[in-house]
Amino acid sequence: DQHGTAIISAAGLLNACEVAKKHLSDVKIVVSGAGAAAISCARLYVALGARKENIVMLDSRGVITSDREKLTEQKREFATDRRDIHTLEEALVGADVFVGLSKGNILSKDMVRTMAERPIIFALANPVPEISYEDAKEARPDVLMSTGRSDYPNQINNVIGFPYIFRGALDTASRSINEEMKIAAVHAIADLTKEPVPDVVNQVYHVNDLRFGPDYFIPKPVDPRLIVNVSMAVAKAAIKSGVARKEITDWNAYAEHLRELMGQESKLSRTLFETARTNPQRVVFAEGTHPKVLKAAVLAKENGICHPILLGNDEYINQEAKDMNLDLTGIEIVNLRHNAMAPKREKYAAIFAERNQRNGCTLQIANDKMYERNYFGMMMVETGDADAFIAGLYTKGTSVIKVAKEVIGIRKPYKHFATMHIINSKVGTIYLADTLINRNPDTDALYDIARLSADSVKFFNHKPVIAMLSYSNFGTDKVGSPASIHEAVARLQSEFPDMDIDGEMQLNFALNNELRDKNYPFTKLKGKKVNTLVFPNLSSANCCAQMLHALGDNAEIIGPIQMGLNKPIHFTETESSVRDILNITAVAVIDAIVEKKIKK
């Protein structure tokens, strides 16, 4: 426990010093408490660069000085040679850092006011800290504050490090946890705080965008990246320092294994990422100024998934990235409305106008359209200046659909295009269609959606077994949508006798083989497990996908995935997380790879 406190507080101290623009080697540190935790903390701070002569430690009798009689060996290690201070109040004058490992309410507001500029206070006594967060902030608004409590910023909690330190040690069969491993954990935890924060962390703490700074210089305990970053750092240090009895040679595989332990990555998403990495493509992100898109683009670049191209004002994007501590190295920014892009807009407009001149589109109208990100971005893909396009989070869906039809067009022989969501859970993978495009599909649209779904499921290396859904079962209702579905199924079964498809049927019969086969033994799906669900309309499909997303703590949901356009144009939704955008990006890259192979 003492070493856990030392590691987590040391990571916090490194970052707090950085935020305060101070160096660990220069700061004056006051440690209240002289027990095992305090000694371990002080030792680790020194190992990281703090100077022992800058540390003042206090016990119940006051400042521990080197001339005090009967000092224990541990206390003598941090006894000060100073003779001008005896109490906590005196020790804090001009101090940069206070680390409390003693008891509650011993630090007053007046004491805090005497500390140096931008003081760092770690009030770690539990359940009552040495000073409350409110009192510290009132006394010194410039204070950088940590406690052991989860209801205030910068919680120092051993759970941030302990499980993962043990994970790295156990996975390397280490003989001990040495100083090198502890220091590696400190740096892994400290460095993680400077990276973009996953959406799941923001959601748990009900904030929009945690960023490295005064209120966030230590990772949150729920951060799912801790297991990978800390475990790997500790394991590498164990091997390098010679205490490991087991070598890890494939670090990528080890990272994937760790993510799987936490349920962060499924075999499907891992396959998508690995496939995309084999041949990264140029992907245009429509809303390059959006924080989630920026994070996703940076992660996609770091993971080798694609070569991102961000549409938007370059000055704004660069400032936003700076504020978010994001590195845009290697990421192209295209300010489509800048005068410098006029030749490109004119080129795209001329091509678009020529193709749409019989649809009432003049060159002037086409020029105007090229100032709009969806037209410009899709024309980049259409002309080969990019390979795939990710539509914006806040663009009206119907608008993007219209632009996609105008610029890219629907792939022959289809008359419709659609989207699909993939639900990957412990019980298997289910494909849902159409979740975004066709509001009230008629027989022809349902026919196309089913065929597109079959092709897409094959694209993901599964054999499609398709149930066409309705509130009716096999003709029990012969009007409205059941009739349209019934006609589409009859046509599909006639034209594609090898396709495993049947309906119309209710959802419970689609997913329960025994129930379906018992009641409808004539079904073409007898004895087969349905993995693809085609819904009768957009409302039912979209609501089902959103419901599963809201309830799916143990399921991975990828989508919407576009099916049927001539080029890789993919969509995001308003509530899409960074992970959602990253998954869609991987799909878009694979889509582009396949399209190029088909053309060859």
Structural domain boundaries, residue 188: 157-263
Distance CA 175, CA 51 (A): 30
For residues 140 and 101, membership in a common domain is answered with: yes
First-last CA distance in the chain = 61
Candidates 460, 459, 525, 513; CA nearest to 489 is 525
> Domain for residue 375, yes or no?
yes
Q: Is the dihedral of CA 526, 527, 532, 538 positive or negative?
A: positive
Is there a domain that residue 584 lies in? no
- DSSP one-letter string for 271-326: HHHHHHHHS-EEEEES-TTSHHHHHHHHHHHHTTSEEEEEES-HHHHHHHHHHTT-
Q: Are residues 149 and 17 in the same domain?
A: yes
| pLDDT at 553 (0 to 100) | 59
Do 196 and 126 fall into the same domain?
Answer: no
Q: Name the nearest CA neighbour of 311 among 293, 329, 296, 292.
A: 293
Residue 452 and residue 384 share a domain: no
Amino acid present at 359:
N
pLDDT at residue 511 greater than cutoff 80: yes
Tens digit of pLDDT for each residue in 97-138? 999 999 999 999 999 999 999 999 999 998 899 999 999 999
Does residue 241 form part of some domain?
yes
Cis, bond preceding 163 (omega within 30 deg of 0) = no
**Beta strand pairing status for 465-469 and 388-390?**
unpaired
Concatenate the DSSP letters of all residues of 377-409 into one string.
HHHHHHTTS-SEEE--SSS-HHHHHHHHHHHT-
591 in a domain, yes or no? no
- Stretch 376-404: mean pLDDT: 87
Helix (H) or strand (E) holding 331: none
Asked, for residue 12, whether it belongs to a domain, the answer is yes
Question: How many Cβ atoms from other residues are within 10 Å of residue 552's Cβ?
Answer: 14
**Enclosing H/E stretch for 4:** helix 2-19
Per the document, the length of the chain is: 600
Asked if residue 7 is part of any domain, the answer here is: yes
Q: How far apart are alpha carbons 11 and 214 in whole angstroms? A: 14
Give the total number of structural domains in the chain: 4
Q: Does the pLDDT of residue 543 top 60, yes or no? A: yes
Residues 393 and 327 both lie in one domain: yes
59 neighbors 75 (Cβ within 8 angstroms): yes
Q: 197 and 67 share a domain? A: no
**Is the residue at 581 inside a domain?**
no
What number of CA atoms fall less than 13 Å from residue 490's CA on the CB side? Answer: 9
Same domain assignment for residues 231 and 276: no
DSSP 461-492: T---EEEEE-SSSTTS--SSHHHHHHHHHHHH
Kindly state whether residue 290 falls inside one of the protein's structural domains.
yes
Kindly report the CATH number assigned to the domain that includes residue 52: 3.40.50.720
Residue 491 has pLDDT above 80, yes or no: yes
List Cβ neighbours of 542 (8 Å cut-off, separation of 6 or more): 435, 436
**Which pLDDT score, from 0 to 100, does residue 196 have?**
81
Q: Given the structure tokens 């109490």, which residue do they identify?
A: 87
Give the residue-averaged pLDDT of 35-64: 95
Domain closes at, from 223, 242, 263: 263
- Mark whether 247 and 277 lie in a shared domain: no
Token pair for 337: 């409305």
The model's pLDDT over 331-382, given as tens digits with 9 standing for 90+, comes to 999 999 999 999 999 999 999 999 999 989 999 999 999 999 999 999 999 9
pLDDT at position 395 is 61
Q: Which of 152, 194, 124, 144 is nearest to 20 (CA)?
A: 144
Residues 417-470 pLDDT 10s: 999 999 987 778 899 999 999 999 999 999 999 999 999 999 888 899 999 999
Query: Which of residues 231, 263, 295 is at a domain's end?
Result: 263
One domain, residues 394 and 427: no
CATH number at residue 350: 3.40.50.10950
| pLDDT per residue as tens digits for the range 570-592 | 998 877 888 889 999 999 999 99
Q: How confident is residue 559, by pLDDT bands cut at 50, 70 and 90? A: confident
Same domain, 7 and 136: yes
| Residue of 28, 39, 30, 32 whose CA lies nearest to 5 | 39
Would the pLDDT of 478 be above 90?
no
Amino acid letter at 313? Answer: N
Domain stops at, among 106, 123, 153: 153
Edge-to-edge strands of the sheet including 306-311?
332-334, 306-311, 281-285, 388-390, 569-570
Structure tokens at 184: 């590696």
Q: Are residues 169 and 113 in the same domain?
A: no
- The mean pLDDT value for 486-506 works out to 95
Q: Are residues 522 and 548 in the same domain?
A: yes
pLDDT value for 37: 93
Instruction: Report residue 97 as tokens.
Output: 């850092």
CATH number, position 558: 3.40.50.10750
